[in-house]
Each structure stands twice: as C-alpha cells, then as structure tokens.
Amino acid sequence: MLTVDFSRFPLAPGDRVLDLGCGAGRHAFECYRRGARVVALDRNAEEIREVAKWFAAMKEAGEAPEGATATAMEGDALNLPFPDASFDVVIISEVMEHIPDDKGVLAEMVRVLKPGGRIAVTVPRYGPEKVCWALSDAYHEVEGGHIRIYKADELLGRMREAGLRPYGQHHAHALHSPYWWLKCAFGVDNDKALPVKAYHKLLVWDIMKKPLLTKVAEQALNPVIGKSFVAYATKPHLPAAATGTDAK
C-alpha cells in the first residue's frame, strides 16, 4: 500500500533514492521495481534486516530491472551518513510526526538532496488524527509514538523554511481512517472486537483484490477523510552567482 503517488512524483530509472525511515520498505521496494538505485534507511535494526531480505528476494526473482540497486542500512535521520547532494529523490513517509526535531530532519534531507531533486513527505492528516487522539491516549502516548499533529499549512511552511519549493499535495488512504477510529474506540491492542475484525477483512480484501468499488470510494473520500497528507517539493537550483558561474 503506497502513500506516495508516483504519477505525481516521477521517478526515472537510475535515480538515486533515499527512503528515510523506510519501516517495512514499501516505498523502497516500489522505487527498486522502477529501476532506481535505492537506499532504505531506518533506525530499527530488525526492520532493516527484513528489508534487506526482501531486496535480495526481489533481485533473485528478477523483479528489478537491470541497473537498479538496493541497499538497506541503519542510520540516524538527524545525522545522515551521506555527502551533500547525494540523492535525486528523498521520500519520508509517516515519520516526521514521531521526531521531536522535525526541522533538523528536514535540514538533513535538503542537505543530501541534489539541486533540482524531488522530495515527498507524508504525515497523518490533521482531522482524522485528531479523532484518533480524542478517542485513545494509548494510540499516541507510547514510546516512539506520534508527538504532534500537523496542519497542512504548517508542514508546507516548514518545508519552505527548509529551502524547498512545494509543488503538489493530496490526501490518501481514506478507507483506513474508520479502521483506526474503530481501533481507538475498542482498544488499540484489541484486534478481537467484531467491528475491528470485520473492517480489517475489508481492508485486506481491498489491498489484495483492488476492486473498482473500493478504489472509486477511496478516491471520493480522500479529500474528506484521507488518513495521510502528502506533499511534494523540489530543491531549487542555486542561482548562477551563487555557484560562481556566469549566467549565459
């Protein structure tokens, strides 16, 4: 289940991509399939080991085109182990709401992104997330949990402050908002509640079968209750004077 829409966020074969806070690796895997040279980075060693296994399995199965590469590694989002301007593309999905120094993370992403490069940022959307917080303290008051809720304008403002130029935005995963509301209402760790079990079956059916009915329903509901807010931006090229070259 992808949150980034690659029809709005073009990716070319050979692009060097950083999936920052990659988690289980869903976006990293998609970039690898599209021919990118991918680095999936996360602080969770166990998840990184699993991502590395899946990269190896994809290579063995021939799922990635010739020239594509994939590396999974542990790392700190506030101290990335890469030189300046290392990546054509940076993706950070459902991560920034966990990190106290979100401005520091944005600064590091901008540092390692090449001028002209593209960045995709996704976070929980303000409205649906507020409902979750209101229904359950256990939803967010856990180690490593969500520490803030972004309003769209706030996130876009921080991206601009970091030197990025936002060019697009949308909402995603509307069908998942009611699921999390049910989870929060019946207990975040209570997977046996009948409404939660029933709705989970619906989501699994949607993900596995991709029926037209749920696709159309989600597209219609995304502007209203989409679970995630997605923003796309570019890093501007430096003016000619700043690079020490004369404008032609």
Exposed e or buried b for every residue in 181-211, given b needs 16+ CB within 10 A? Answer: bbbbbbebeeeeeeebeebeeebeebeeeee
Please give the Cα distance from 54 to 67 (Å, whole number): 18
The rounded distance, in Å, linking the Cα atoms of 18 and 16 is 7
The enclosing H or E element of 126 equals helix 126-135
Is the Cβ–Cβ distance between 170 and 8 less than 8 Å?
Answer: yes
Question: What's the predicted TM-score (pTM) here?
Answer: 0.93
C-alpha 234/C-alpha 159 separation (Å) is 10
Half-sphere exposure of 219 (CA within 13 A, CB side): 8
List, in order, residues 6 or more apart from 16 with CB less than 8 Å away: 36, 37, 39, 86, 87, 88, 89
End-to-end CA distance of the chain: 46
Which residue type does 180 have? W
Rounded Cα–Cα distance for residues 35 and 13 (Å): 4
Q: How far is CA 203 from the centre of its chain?
A: 19
Sequence-distant (6+) residues with CB within 8 A of 175 are: 202, 203, 206, 214, 217, 218, 221
Q: Which two tokens stand for residue 11?
A: 């990716």
DSSP helix/strand/coil, 101? coil
pLDDT value of residue 86: 98
CB 58 within 8 A of CB 84: no
Q: How far apart are CA 36 and CA 94, in angstroms?
A: 21
Q: What is the pLDDT of residues 179-231, one digit of tens each?
A: 999 999 999 999 999 999 999 999 999 999 999 999 999 999 999 999 999 99
In 10 A of CB 12, how many CB atoms?
Answer: 10
Q: Which residues of the chain have pLDDT under 50?
A: 240-248
> Which residue from 227, 19, 236 is spatially nearest to 120, judged by alpha carbons?
19
What residues does 181 pair with on adjacent strands? none
